[in-house]
Structure 1
Amino acid sequence: MKLFHTFLFCILFNVGFSQSTEQYFEKIRNNEAALTAFFAQMPKGGDLHHHYSGSIYAEPLLAHAIAQDFYLNTQTMTVSKEKQTGTDWVLFSTLQKNGELEAYKQKVMHKWSVKDFNYVDYPSDKQFFESFMKFEPATNGNFEAGLLELKNRAIKENVSYIETQLSTIPCAIQTNDLAKFNTQLRKMVANKNEKAVMQSLDSLYTIFIKNDAKKYATDFNTNFVGKMHNELKIDDKQFTMRYQNFVLRFMEPVDLFKNLVVAFISADSSPLMAGVNIVSPEDGETSMKDYELHMLMFKYCHSRFPKVKYTLHAGELTLGLVRPEELSWHINAAVYTAGANRIGHGVDIAYEDKSYDLLRYMAKNDIPVEINLTSNEFILKVKENRHPILLYKEFGVPIVISTDDAGILRTNMTEQYVLLAKRYPTISYTDIKQFVYNSINYSFIQDKAVKKQLIQNLDSRFKTFESNFPLK
């Protein structure tokens, strides 16, 4: 009986903390500075929609390029380790010698991120997606510094877990003699012949396996991710990181499928590899043309590797970006055809065919949506009540809050929660706390003990955080 009373007291004590925190939160809801202080200290669990290359801030990437004396294209602000043809390529050391380095630093920052972007001179979506290729050479060979930057920043803002999309998996399997499959697969999809598509994918899968696809996955897991993760001691009592493999939407079908097979093998054979994703602009010409085929590819790979989890960028579209009829089916296909475990962005949900049924299905089957407020505002110009977050919440779809590409977007996780609180007054502190727990519960961490420890860690962190309220 004494034990029961002690247990009851602890529950009531913690409920009191939570109520006091809720009251303070409502008091400061319209005060951005106060919200920033509040959310900076609040435990924020995990960041599940996270691109490694887009999350590193431009400053350290530029510093690395200067230290390594890369070449800079003075017109495009692209860097290269090797000399390129043309007169626009200049060594950073030459720029420094000529007294031009500081001026070009600012120009680089404006092309590698959204710093000082004025929404007038250039389309925001192009500004965002074109940034990656400009600084990519500065990320290659510099992953260790980037991972430590992400870890240290996460710890400082009370983020305990990141599930990052680190890198594509190098694979040298030649596909030139398989080019006929590209036309055939597209024709089969156009004729809605799913059975024929699956048979063709089966043939390709057999070819890739015979050509040592597993070797490329093993090498990536062991000699790149595993080696780096362990040597840097990424996981500790304060922080945990796992990695998603990804493929690129703009590739031709055979090459994309080859990479997808290797990505699934990788995720199936290492606890560090959390799952698989697909990236690149969803409104791109090849992305739109092959979207249904891509979903069937994921469906096929799931049949081969049923334990592997995958989240899909789906519905990162809005009216005006594509034709209206193209807003009606991408999330449907990702959920029903591909069988995605999570959805990234999901912005066009209101335009989807039978959206209410789709939302009910996502809620019933625990398929979360990864909400990226700053990203959706900058790339798609969707924010406030145009954003469907409250629609997802109304139907009970699990929600997680994430950053997407914090480096390019010059943001962090704290700002995502500030925007959430300011823009959506019907979302309570209790809701936000649930979103935080969702970010661990719906993560793709394979080791149950690791996930359990992260939840226990969140419990402890929230208890400490909520003990601050009411403020003395």
Structure 2
Amino acid sequence: MLTCLSAAPPAAAASAVPPPPLTDAEARTDAYLASVRTTAPDPRALRRFFLKLPKGGDLHNHLFGAVRTEYLIALAAEDGLCIDTATLTAVVPPCGPGTRPAVDARSDRDFREAILRAWSMYDFPPDQSGHDHFFATFDKFGLVPALHPGKVLAEVADSVAAQHQFYLETMVNPASDRAEQLADEVGWDPDLAALHARLLDGGRLDEVVADARRATDDSDAGFRAAARCGTDRPRPGCRLTVRFVYQAFRGESRERVFTELALGMRLAERDPRFLAVNLVQPEDGPVALADYTLQMRMVRYLHTVYPKAHVTLHAGELRPGLVPPEDLRFHIREAVDVAGAERIGHGVDLRHEDDWQRTARTMAARRIAVEVPFTSNAQILGVRGAAHPFNTYRSYGVPVVLATDDPGVSRTDISHEYQYAAETYGLTYPELKDLARASLEYAFLPGRSLWQGNPTRDGYRPAAACAGQLPGSGRAPGAECRRLIDASPKAAVQWREEAASVSFERAFGRTPAPN
């Protein structure tokens, strides 16, 4: 039986302490936001506010789905690729019957717009389900970014930096073809330890790891060249801290899913550019549904072998009617309890799961964050507003971070996600500021945090080493605080966020509201 959706949230934990009081700058900035949002509504001023708002990092981002579709069309034209006129899929040349050169999109507006519609949610009717169209886009444009991962990363990094973010965890899958080949050679074995041993036999998995690292080296070189890093004209993306999450494809055969997960976790322990693994593709796909529990067991086993690898999982990206009722009852719970996920992506069907309140309390107690991409949830699932569990997670003390998912396909940006949250759920500036801080606090970037304790429960209080020395305090960081920032990649980006917030509050806290 599905649990009741109207259960009351838990009482605040007795151990919680009052959050730090607002500073004058925060209060003035909040007053400005209120003025342009409700007192004297000004859409342009509101958009500018959210664009300039420092927004920490993006923790749920698929690299190939994040790049602008217009840029992909330009790359396809430069490469001399062809477009299948029946499916609008990019294919390799020569352009024979049934295809057109992608370069035609430069001069033929109708052709260009047809590609935009096929490769993204451009002009998609808002009153229709976008689920099938959304997921179909990747096979149509996938050849293009695969040829230029470095250029694509440079473009995406610039867009993230332009949104006033300082960190990106993006999902990639280098050498996945080699992993699939190895999996097919090894075959399936329900004894996961034995299967893992067969992957390691003769150093075969390590060969795939080496291939993945070489592919990432090539991508890095392409990124640095395209972004002009190290020159006197670097692009903004050069200043962005970027790390990777390896994505395994949950719709593949069991042996392929296991092998890709093993590859991703082995990379995370051997290459500092990689931090974690995730499972991607539609959660409602037939294989994904049939093998869901088994895949959670795969993650649990491999995490015992690779304990330093982090785990974030798409779970609960479902709604009633999309799958049979029984498949709504356990996905988030098993991602938490069986797989040991440290973050949950989407988590939309929470309130349809059995004993979901216990799952929410568990997530709060373990500080398991939920990654929320509002536009993606609306486009794919049709879930928005009060139907979204955003406020439910917050009421239970679950850490929440805002994310974009596939902003190129969705045609959105992180500023829109923050604005949507503020307007839909009535968030204040201090609440938005803490959402941005959460996106760095719950990042997998290594090192000590700038904050102490449980910030989601107790508020963001600086670690003892930096107490009273944050940007805007009027005090330069002392030796102990500086050591923390220099030694910790996480604390370093958190410090950048705090410094940017001070500048933002000076600008908007002193800006008179428009008449």
Residue 113 of structure 1 corresponds to 120
Residue 80 of structure 2 corresponds to 69
3-state SS of paired residue (2:322): coil
Q: Does 1:48 align with 2:39?
A: no
Q: Does 1:433 align with 2:443?
A: no
3-state SS of paired residue (2:275): strand
Residue 444 of structure 2 corresponds to 444
The whole-number CA distance in structure 2 between the counterparts of 1:92 and 1:370 is 36
Unpaired runs of 5+ in structure 2? Answer: 1-19, 230-234, 449-487
Correspondence for 1:219 among 203, 206, 211: 211
3-state SS of paired residue (2:340): coil
* Superposed CA offset, 1:118-145 (max 9, x none): 146x741011000001001111221121
3-state SS of paired residue (2:147): coil
The whole-number CA distance in structure 1 between the counterparts of 2:375 and 2:352 is 21
Superposition deviation, residue 103 in structure 1: 2.4
Residue 192 of structure 1 corresponds to none
Unpaired runs of 5+ in structure 1? Answer: 1-10, 186-199
2:158–2:236 CA contact under 8 A, matched in 1: no
Residue identity in the other structure for 2:53 = M
The whole-number CA distance in structure 1 between the counterparts of 2:318 and 2:163 is 30
Superposition deviation, residue 227 in structure 1: 4.5
* Superposed CA offset, 1:235-263 (max 9, x none): 98842111110100110101111111111
Residue identity in the other structure for 1:213 = L
Residue 8 of structure 1 corresponds to none
3-state SS of paired residue (1:209): helix
Q: State how 1:67-466 maps to structure 2 within 5 Å.
A: 67-83=78-94, 87-92=97-102, 101-119=108-126, 123-170=129-176, 171=178, 173-176=181-184, 178-179=186-187, 181=189, 185=190, 200-211=191-202, 212-221=204-213, 223-229=214-220, 232=224, 233=229, 238-425=239-426, 427-448=427-448, 449-466=488-505
Residue identity in the other structure for 1:106 = E
Residue identity in the other structure for 1:416 = E
The whole-number CA distance in structure 1 between the counterparts of 2:107 and 2:47 is 38
2:61–2:404 CA contact under 8 A, matched in 1: yes
When the two chains are superposed, the root-mean-square deviation of aligned CA atoms in Å is: 2.2
Residue identity in the other structure for 2:443 = S
Superposition deviation, residue 102 in structure 1: 3.2
2:344–2:370 CA contact under 8 A, matched in 1: yes
3-state SS of paired residue (2:23): helix
The whole-number CA distance in structure 1 between the counterparts of 2:402 and 2:175 is 27
Superposition deviation, residue 326 in structure 1: 1.3
* Superposed CA offset, 1:25-75 (max 9, x none): 222334443321111111011000000011111111111111222121101
The whole-number CA distance in structure 2 between the counterparts of 1:437 and 1:15 is 16
Superposition deviation, residue 167 in structure 1: 2.5
* Superposed CA offset, 1:141-181 (max 9, x none): 21121111111112222011110002343325444465453
Per the normalisation by structure 2, the TM-score is: 0.81
* Superposed CA offset, 1:319-374 (max 9, x none): 11112221110000000000000000000001111111111110011000001100
> Identity percentage over the alignment?
30
The whole-number CA distance in structure 2 between the counterparts of 1:399 and 1:345 is 10
3-state SS of paired residue (2:445): coil
3-state SS of paired residue (1:467): helix
1:169–1:262 CA contact under 8 A, matched in 2: no
Residue 34 of structure 1 corresponds to 45
Residue 467 of structure 2 corresponds to none
1:359–1:392 CA contact under 8 A, matched in 2: yes
The whole-number CA distance in structure 2 between the counterparts of 1:34 and 1:213 is 53
Superposition deviation, residue 107 in structure 1: 0.6
- How many residue pairs get aligned? The number is 437
Q: 1:42 to 1:293 in 2, by over 3 A?
A: same
Between stretches 142-151 and 282-291, larger displacement belongs to 142-151
* Superposed CA offset, 1:91-134 (max 9, x none): 346x58xx9843211110010011111146x7410110000010
1:311–1:343 CA contact under 8 A, matched in 2: yes
The whole-number CA distance in structure 2 between the counterparts of 1:54 and 1:450 is 26
Q: 1:82 to 1:174 in 2, by over 3 A?
A: farther
